[in-house]
């Protein structure tokens, strides 16, 4: 992985490059960003640059033995720790090393995937992700060894929010007195779940989501997609590249048409037809359910943006015409209410609440908002 392989994020890249060039690399760094952000890929590009034998002023060479091994995730001085779970075959001393071959294949296929994707990929079934206390003993053992090929020893912990409390405390002790020439990279989606004492001993590096332009470039690297479909993907992804890829692979639904019908039924308080909308929603895949709610949320937001300044809108022709008319139905206060309800619905869906209840409650709240609007009018 090279910096050039990641679209955009020039400020973030410059910060990391300057840290290496000025010999100011912190011994422990936390890359935190939402799911589908390039927190892992930026960290991998940084590790390649740090260890590269023939680096340029702004990137790794990609050709030296170190770069090639890091690119394949087989460098003997780069160690990976990640969430796993017991299986029928592996139920004692459950550590990352026992699953490294599969996890390596998983990440090399797509480094923007999340922990649920990893558990589905391996087949952990319904078990909870965990970085067990056995991992701490394994890590301490590795740190006692001298580097094999590099000056530096690297430990990358993917999703440390799943650390067992025993392992968290062991990691804290190591970070308080780290071995020389050893660098720790913690890649997290939720740093609030980490011990505050760990957070106080790492350099925190916030990674934003992809912008629309960056996301478009990443999508077009591997997919040929119509402009109208691309617009839908951008609106339903919220800068999450993993989500965008899943939508491309799973969705042939015309979300705009469905949204129009749903809003029309809510506006007219037609619960019989809302029931049909509910059946459509319930028949969608989990990915499409979330994608449709995010798409709806963005259309609601865009309706408000159009009212303020239409030049700021991100939507394309067909959606633009609809939004122009739809925005007349909602003032600022009502837009805020619907936005809050949609955000709640997305959050509940992510927490595995009943999708039928989520969508029905959401529809009722939107009906109430429209009725308030009509009463005021």
Domains detected in the chain: 3-206 (3.40.50.300), 212-376 (no CATH)
Supply the pLDDT for residue 51: 94
**Range among 10-14, 141-145, 223-227 with highest mean pLDDT value:** 10-14
* Mean predicted lDDT score pLDDT of the chain: 89
How far apart CA 256 and CA 233 sit, in angstroms, is 12
Tell me, what's the pLDDT at 48? 96
pLDDT at 262 over 60: yes
Q: What is the pLDDT of residue 43?
A: 97
Structure confidence by residue, pLDDT tens digits, 161-195: 999 999 999 999 999 998 889 999 999 999 999 99
Average pLDDT over residues 34-40: 95
Of the two residues 276 and 371, the one the predictor is more confident about is 276
For residue 310, the 8-state DSSP code is G
> Taking Cα atoms as reference points, which of 111, 47, 99, 109 lies closest to residue 78?
47
Pure H helices in the chain: 10-21, 39-51, 65-71, 100-109, 115-122, 133-143, 165-176, 196-199, 212-222, 227-237, 241-250, 255-267, 271-282, 286-308, 317-326, 332-350, 355-376
Question: Which residues are CB-neighbours of 280 under 8 A, at least 6 positions away?
Answer: 258
- Residue 377: the pLDDT is 45
């Amino acid at each position: 992985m090279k910096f050039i392989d990641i679209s955009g994020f020039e400020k973030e890249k410059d910060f990391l490059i300057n840290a290496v060039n000025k010999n100011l690399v912190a011994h422990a760094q936390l890359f935190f960003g939402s799911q589908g952000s390039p927190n892992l890929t930026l960290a991998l590009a940084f590790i390649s640059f740090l260890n590269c034998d023939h680096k340029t002023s702004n990137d790794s060479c990609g050709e030296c033995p170190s770069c090639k091994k890091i690119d394949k995730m087989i460098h003997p001085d780069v160690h990976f720790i990640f969430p796993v779970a017991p299986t029928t075959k592996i139920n004692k001393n459950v550590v990352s090393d026992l699953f490294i071959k599969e996890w390596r294949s998983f990440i090399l296929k797509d480094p923007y995937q999340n922990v649920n994707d990893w558990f589905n990929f391996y087949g952990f079934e319904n078990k909870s992700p965990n970085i067990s206390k056995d991992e701490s003993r394994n890590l301490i053992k590795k740190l006692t060894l001298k580097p094999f090929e590099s000056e530096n020893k690297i430990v990358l912990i993917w999703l440390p929010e799943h650390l067992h409390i025993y392992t968290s405390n062991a990691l804290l002790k190591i970070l308080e007195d780290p071995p020389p020439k050893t660098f720790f990279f913690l890649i997290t989606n939720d740093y609030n779940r980490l011990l505050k004492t760990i957070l106080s001993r790492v350099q925190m590096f916030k990674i934003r989501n992809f912008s629309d332009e960056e996301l478009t470039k990443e999508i077009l690297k591997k997919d040929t997609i119509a402009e109208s479909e691309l617009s839908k993907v951008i609106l339903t992804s919220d800068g999450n590249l993993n989500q965008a890829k899943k939508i491309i692979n799973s969705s042939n639904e015309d979300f705009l048409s469905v949204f129009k019908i749903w809003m029309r039924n809510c506006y007219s308080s037609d619960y019989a037809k809302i029931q049909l909308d509910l059946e459509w929603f319930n028949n969608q895949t989990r990915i499409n359910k979330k994608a449709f709610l995010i798409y709806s949320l963005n259309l609601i937001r865009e309706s408000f943006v159009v009212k303020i300044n239409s030049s700021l809108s991100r939507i394309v022709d067909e959606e633009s015409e609809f939004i122009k008319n739809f925005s007349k139905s909602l003032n600022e206060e009502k837009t805020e209410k619907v936005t809050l309800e949609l955000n709640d619905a997305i959050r509940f869906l992510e927490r595995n609440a009943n999708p039928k209840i989520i969508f029905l409650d959401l529809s009722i709240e939107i009906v109430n908002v429209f009725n308030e609007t009509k009463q005021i009018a």
